Amino acid sequence: MARRLKIRRVCFQALGLVRTLEREHYEAETGGLENAGISGEECLVYGNHSCAAWARGFMALLAIILAMGLGLMASRAEAAPFAYVANGKDNTVSVIDMATHPPSVVATIPVGNNPQGVAVTPDGKHAYVTNESTTSGSVSVIRTATNTVVATIPVGAGAVAVAFTPDGTLAYVASFFDHNISVIDTATKKVVATVTLPVKDGPQGIATTPNGKHAYVANNASPKVSNLSVIDTATNTVVATVPFPTPGDVPSEIAITPDGKHAYVTIDGETPPPIISKVSVIDTASSTVVATVPLPVGVSPLGSPSLRMGNMPMLRLTKNSPAAFR
């Protein structure tokens, strides 16, 4: 008997104002969204739809964060948005048409070993997928018009995340096991620089500022090495290191506000029970932690991109399966 997947839809209006709460379910047979890497621990959050009561605390928190200016915006196409989801165990990327109701898988693309991170170029023409091999990482470049791999770029071992400069000319790839950042020229699809981190930091998440001048890297090799590296993209050197004040903090993902003044970093604690999940706010001018926002118990903030479908805000709460949107 085919297993069924329940996808919970939750809602918020502009700036995260929570509306009425109720539960709705969609079921997908095996071979559909289940194979796209969306598990029962994850959900898609839609604007202007009802939501489950379990999400009330998170949505209230989201409202606060959005009101503070968090502007997570993934690449998208307004007419027919697609999500690209990395399936680590299957070595594939699933392409989900978000315009259908419910969303449906329209393509499955073979990529490298253990794909972990995925991001779409600012022009929406390519998706870059980081393949986390422990010995030799790589980046698979997918042409979104045909959903085919057009290039495979060797990078450091343990490639886990990728981010683009706003003009799309450079891609920054975090390699966890080699403790470095590969800089890729997206025109030639070749590595043009490698940024070595000061110590064995274990880079996990990466984001670039709106002006393209800096890349922020979340490092979490261990609770003893938990910090944020700031890279000057003009020289591709580390110009600042931001420590986290609480022992055991494990930073994961980063988003920069549209004005570039703050970086928001998702934190998972290493000390059970329970896992301490929160968001740290970094002042980019002073490179210091200026605020910490706790998350409700049971919510993991690992890799939660948001986007818009036309005028509808949308958030994907995820624990295991990275996704990018165009």
Percent of all residues in the chain with a pLDDT value above 70, rounded to a whole number: 61
Q: In this predicted structure, what is the pLDDT of residue 244?
A: 81
Question: Is the model's pLDDT at 39 over the cut of 70?
Answer: no
> 5-9, 29-33, 95-99: lowest mean pLDDT where?
5-9
68 vs 14 pLDDT, higher one: 68
C-alpha–C-alpha distance, residues 3 and 293, integer Å: 37
Is the bond into 273 cis (omega within 30 degrees of 0)? yes
Question: Is the model's pLDDT at 132 over the cut of 80?
Answer: yes
Percent of all residues in the chain with a pLDDT value above 90, rounded to a whole number: 37
Q: Give the pairing type, strands 277-283 and 115-120.
A: unpaired
pLDDT band (50, 70, 90) for residue 266 = confident
pLDDT band (50, 70, 90) for residue 152 = very high
Q: In this predicted structure, what is the pLDDT of residue 18?
A: 26
Q: Which of 189, 123, 191, 187 is nearest to 156 (CA)?
A: 191
Q: In this predicted structure, what is the pLDDT of residue 88?
A: 85
pLDDT digits (tens, 9 = 90+) for 305-315: 444 344 443 44
Cβ within 8 Å of residue 273, ≥6 positions away: none
Please give the mean pLDDT across all residues of the chain: 71
pLDDT digits (tens, 9 = 90+) for 221-257: 665 667 889 999 999 999 999 888 777 778 888 889 9
- The structure tokens listed for 296 are 């409700």
- For residues 285-321, one letter each, b for 16 or more C-beta atoms within 10 angstroms of the residue's C-beta and e for the rest, the string is eebebeeebebeeebbbbbbbbbebeeebbbbbbebb
> 77-81, 118-122, 226-230, 263-267: lowest mean pLDDT where?
77-81
Q: Which CATH architecture has domain 74-301?
A: 7 Propeller (2.130)
Is the bond into 243 cis (omega within 30 degrees of 0)? no
Q: In this predicted structure, what is the pLDDT of residue 275?
A: 57
Q: In this predicted structure, what is the pLDDT of residue 271?
A: 53
Q: Give the pairing type, strands 4-10 and 43-46.
A: parallel
Q: In this predicted structure, what is the pLDDT of residue 197?
A: 86
pLDDT digits (tens, 9 = 90+) for 44-91: 333 333 334 334 444 444 444 444 444 333 333 333 488 888 888 889
Is the bond into 274 cis (omega within 30 degrees of 0)? yes
Residue 72 has what DSSP assignment? -
Confidence (pTM): 0.71
60 vs 105 pLDDT, higher one: 105
Q: Which of 119, 152, 156 is nearest to 137 (CA)?
A: 156
Q: Which of 71, 82, 136 is nearest to 109 (CA)?
A: 82
Average pLDDT over residues 91-110: 89
Residue 199 has what DSSP assignment? S
Contact between 281 and 292 under an 8 Å Cβ cutoff? The reply is yes
141 vs 8 pLDDT, higher one: 141
Q: In this predicted structure, what is the pLDDT of residue 313?
A: 39
Question: Is the model's pLDDT at 34 over the cut of 60?
Answer: no
Segment (H or E) for 247: none
pLDDT digits (tens, 9 = 90+) for 164-197: 999 999 999 999 888 899 999 999 999 999 999 8
Cβ within 8 Å of residue 313, ≥6 positions away: 12, 13, 14, 16, 47, 306
Residue 17 has what DSSP assignment? -
> 152-156, 274-278, 301-305: lowest mean pLDDT where?
301-305
CB atoms within 10 A of CB 264: 23
Q: In this predicted structure, what is the pLDDT of residue 207?
A: 94
